[in-house]
Amino acid sequence: MRRILSRIHIICDFIKFFISAKTIDQIDSPFYFEFHQRVIKSYQSYNDKSISLYREALKSDQTIVKVGNVGAKSQITKKNKVSVSHISQNAVSKDFKCKLLLFIVNFFKSQTILELGTSLGVSTLYLAKADNLKKIISVEGEMDIYRYIQNKVADGKLTLLNSTFTDFFVKAINDSELYDCIVIDGDHTYNATIDNFNQSRKILSENGIIILDDIYWSKGMKNAWKYIQNEHHEFHTINLFFYGIVFKNARLKKPQRINITPFPIRWKLGLFRR
């Protein structure tokens, strides 16, 4: 029942979002028009057979792993142990979201990427395909999941770490590390999201971007996204419903808040064109 109610809330949120979101026919800014053309209009045509095969293999994998130590448990199950198959079908980003994420990263030409929350590594593999990538660090807090994916998710530019986000931030800040793109996909609570965002700002490159996953996943996530938009006027934000993008850009004179439909639709609500 809780899952059904959650889905109803998300559908209602999407309808409200879509009413205010801009399609290609409502975008006037050259920057956001280019974003729509290179990201929204293009990402669905992307395919990677090796990642698709990996995703399919996960769906039938009955390997049991422990979860619940660092905030992920509530997103997957109330149990302490769960199959990889269950995680893949309930807590791994859908194919279209992973493609969208990759095209966002490519649009901003990110060279160094930090992913907070590896899970089973599907989105990680997509990020590792970024056009300008020099290195990607992916941090997973669940030891069992980290051990499971350690030998399954491999790429020469990819480093997997088992660490809490708090411990990782302490080391990264002390080492003066900087990242062009930081993807926050961990503990989906208000306090954790705000803390992860604030710590991410400390290790973000000058023209870097922060991508928050599932900004409508819960009341806490929605409130965290509103807080970031209202309190951090030094940033521009793009709301794609499935992702919230936070960034700086000297080409845009003042911070802007824009909702853009994540699908290449040309009609407002399918009925009206401007």
Are 18 and 269 spatial neighbours (Cβ–Cβ below 8 Å)? yes
Q: Calculate the average pLDDT of the chain.
A: 91
The 8 Å CB, 24+ separation contacts for 43-50 are: 43/96, 43/99, 43/100, 43/102, 43/103, 44/96, 44/99, 44/264, 46/99, 46/102, 46/103, 48/125, 48/126, 48/129, 50/125
Query: pLDDT band at residue 274, thresholds of 50, 70 and 90?
Result: very low
Structure tokens belonging to residue 267: 């009609």
| 104 inside domain | yes
| 76 inside domain | no
Give yes or no for residue 162 having a pLDDT over 80.
yes
The number of C-alpha atoms within 13 Å of 42 and in the hemisphere containing its C-beta is 13
| 87 inside domain | no
| 72 inside domain | no
Q: How far apart are CA 264 and CA 274, in angstroms?
A: 16
What digits encode the pLDDT tens for the residues 75-119? 556 678 999 999 999 889 999 999 999 999 999 999 999 999 999
| 246 inside domain | yes
Here the CATH number for the domain that contains residue 39 is: 3.40.50.150
Range among 8-17, 71-80, 251-260 with highest mean pLDDT value: 8-17
From first CA to last CA, the distance across the chain in angstroms is: 40
> pTM for the complete prediction?
0.93
Domain that includes residue 130, residue range: 2-48+93-259
Structure tokens belonging to residue 137: 């660090």
Regarding predicted confidence, which is higher, 78 or 243?
243
Nearest residue to 61 (alpha-carbon basis) of 31, 82, 37, 39: 82
Residue 108 neighbours by CB distance under 10 Å: 21
Please report the sign of the dihedral spanned by the C-alpha atoms of residue 215, residue 219, residue 224, residue 227.
positive
List the beta bridge partners of residue 65: 82
Q: How far apart are CA 117 and CA 8, in angstroms?
A: 26
Give yes or no for residue 273 having a pLDDT over 50.
no
| 64 inside domain | no
Query: pLDDT band at residue 254, thresholds of 50, 70 and 90?
Result: confident
| 175 inside domain | yes
Q: How many domains does the chain fold into?
A: 1
pLDDT at 47: 96
| 97 inside domain | yes
